[in-house]
Structure 1
Amino acid sequence: MPMKLRLQLFEFEDLPWFPQVIRAGMMDYLRFMITALGTYQPIVPLLHQALRQTGQTRLLELGAGAGGGTAPLLRRLQATGLPAATVTLTDLYPQPLAWQTLQAQTPGLRYELAPVDATAVAAGLTGFRTIFSAFHHFSPPAAEAILADAVRQRAGIGVFEGAGKHWAEILLACTVLPVAQLLITPFIRPFRFSRLFFTYAVPLIPLFTIWDGCVSILRMYPPAQLLALAHRADAAGTFRWQAGVVRHWWGPKVTYLIGVPTETEG
């Protein structure tokens, strides 16, 4: 049964004092799983349409974390009608070590070393803005500010969460996914001894991943709330907004919000 409520709560990875080595281990796991499962492949047609409407070939990813799912998504765009597509990864807490590995493997992938605040993006950072698996981290005022900044700068924006906000997903986060994390951690690259140590010897990475995974679902905005945020951020109605849920062919869902400036529509 889908959840309609949203609880703010907190995630450990958001806390400024949270150890970077644990945060990086959690982000590496998330990136590995999103990539391996092809979590965001169902939204490729939506991105195609938004990029055509805005005349863009460049994606500017905000709150990129370790870059989970970005590389296969970019390759899919390039292979399905947008060969010139590029993506620039940004984050308030940049992760250049993880991004360098992705850049070496993915033509057209770049990154910004300086911290980037998603609520006030520098004018020089252009492109269609995307946020994958991160929008739920922001409180309603901050989330509205992210959308308002995109509206103010006339930059199209897409918000994507790799879940459908369902109670069953919390059950998976507490049972199946922790087992999967223990099994796949030795295969995550780039290799880090710290990741092994804090997964098996002192299992802080799995424990914090369970908490943050459950809370992230509880913090997710369902489509109706995403649209409400968008309309408040765009009180003048200068963007066209759509929100909904798309299903992966093998079951999992992606919740999305997309906004494009109305005058750029073809």
Structure 2
Amino acid sequence: MRLRLQLFEFEDLPWFPSVIRAGMMDYLRFMISALRTYQPIVPLLREGLQATGQRRLLELGAGAGGGTEGVALALRRYPELDQLRVTLTDLYPQPAAWQLLAQRNAPVIDFEPAPVDALAVTPALTGFRTIFSAFHHFAPAAAEALLADAVRQNSGIGVFEGAGKHWLEILLAWTVLPVAQLLITPFIRPFRLSRLFFTYVVPLIPLFTIWDGTVSILRLYPPEQLLALARRADPDQRFQWQAGRARHAWGPQVTYLVGWPKVNSYT
């Protein structure tokens, strides 16, 4: 599917209730972790970390931290990355969800409690930048600015979306995934009565999840568009870029863009 529609997602709207947004993000984190969505891109991140000499991932737009734990633990199995650390950041921080991840994985995962703008990251926050399941939220101009900020600060970056942008994924978002959400919600941690209320009594979380999940796929940048954004963000060709789709052995795909400074571009 090459079509990209810049529709809106409710979770992006400033007025959207935080309790509903948190419930949606908690579900997304649970599913990404349970399905090991981002395991196919571990070798790509390993290559980027080796090329840049970084031993910290700086996750932008972290949401509830979906995918972070599995990817970090997989990377730390490599001897050269056994000291890897991860810092979670977001424009809308979720310290309650992050605290759970940090405690369970101390000292591997920590977080920045203050809002962080992915388009202008403070230089004090260093590391190889990652964006899981969030890059599609940015319209082309903002997406280009996000990549340009990484280039300007000479920071490697990886953009990862847990879909291959296929019509079948939209069908799943309307059929299988809502049923799964109803089944797994009681097992999501941290436990929240509000999550149960807005899932089973007033089912706003499932309804908004269906809409945002569908729009996410329609807004997702295919690999050729990701590369075009990267080239505009890096007009001097300081970085080496690659984009594509990584596939799970059991079928699902991850769309990705990774880039890091060329050898003669390091500061």
TM class, shorter-chain normalised? over 0.9
Paired residues for 1:21-40 under 5 Å? 21-40=19-38
Q: Cα deviation per residue 1:142-188 (whole Å; 9 max; x = unaligned)?
A: 00000000000000000000000000000000000000000000000
- Measure, in 2, the Cα distance between the counterparts of 1:63 and 1:48: 21
1:79 is paired with a residue whose SS is coil
1:45 is matched with which residue: 18, 22, 43? 43
For 2:263 and 2:126, how far apart are their aligned partners in 1?
Answer: 18
Please state if 1:160 is matched with 2:160.
Answer: yes
- Match 1:18 to one of 8, 13, 16: 16
Matches within 5 A, 1:23-172: 23-81=21-79, 82-107=81-106, 108-172=108-172
Q: Is the 1:53–1:264 Cα contact (8 Å) retained in structure 2?
A: no
TM superposition shift of 1:265:
8.8
What's the % identity of the aligned pairs?
Answer: 74
User: Per-residue displacement from partner, 1:216-235 (whole Å, max 9, x unpaired)?
Assistant: 00000000000000000000
Task: Please tell me whether the aligned partners of residues 55 and 264 of structure 1 are also in contact (alpha carbons under 8 angstroms).
Answer: no
The alignment's C-alpha RMSD in Å is 1.1
The separation in 2 between residues aligned to 1:151 and 1:129, in whole angstroms, is 11
CA offsets, 1:183-238, max 9 Å, x none?
Answer: 00000001000000000000000000000000000000000000000000000100
Q: What corresponds to 1:236 in structure 2? A: 236
Query: Could you say if the C-alpha distance between residues 264 and 172 of structure 1 is closer, same or farther in structure 2, counting changes exceeding 3 Å?
Result: farther
Stretches of structure 2 lacking an aligned partner (at least 5 in a row): none
Looking at structure 1, the residues matched to 249 and 91 of structure 2 have their Cα atoms a distance apart, in angstroms, of 33
Cα distance, 1:123–1:22 mapped onto 2, change above 3 Å: same
Checking the alignment, whether the CA contact within 8 Å between 1:54 and 1:265 is kept in structure 2 is no
Gaps of 5+ in 1: none
* Cα distance in 2 between the residues matched to 1:265 and 1:35: 35
How far, CA to CA, are the matches of 2:93 and 2:26 in structure 1? 13
CA contact (8 A) 2:239 2:265 kept: no
Question: What SS class does the counterpart of residue 170 from structure 1 fall into?
Answer: helix
Shift of 1:80: 2.5
Q: Does the aligned pair in 1 maintain the 2:89–2:111 contact within 8 Å?
A: yes
Once the 2 structures are TM-superposed, how far is the Cα of residue 249 of structure 1 from its aligned partner? 1.2
Secondary structure at the counterpart of residue 87 of structure 1: strand
Question: What TM-score do the two structures reach when normalised by structure 2?
Answer: 0.98
The amino acid across from 2:62 in the alignment is: A
1:207 correspondence with 2:244: no
Question: Which 4+ residue blocks in structure 1 deviate beyond 6 angstroms?
Answer: none
- The 8 Å contact of residues 9 and 219 in structure 1, kept in 2 or not, is answered as yes
- Equivalences, count: 264
C-alpha distance in structure 1 between counterparts of 2:47 and 2:183, whole Å: 38
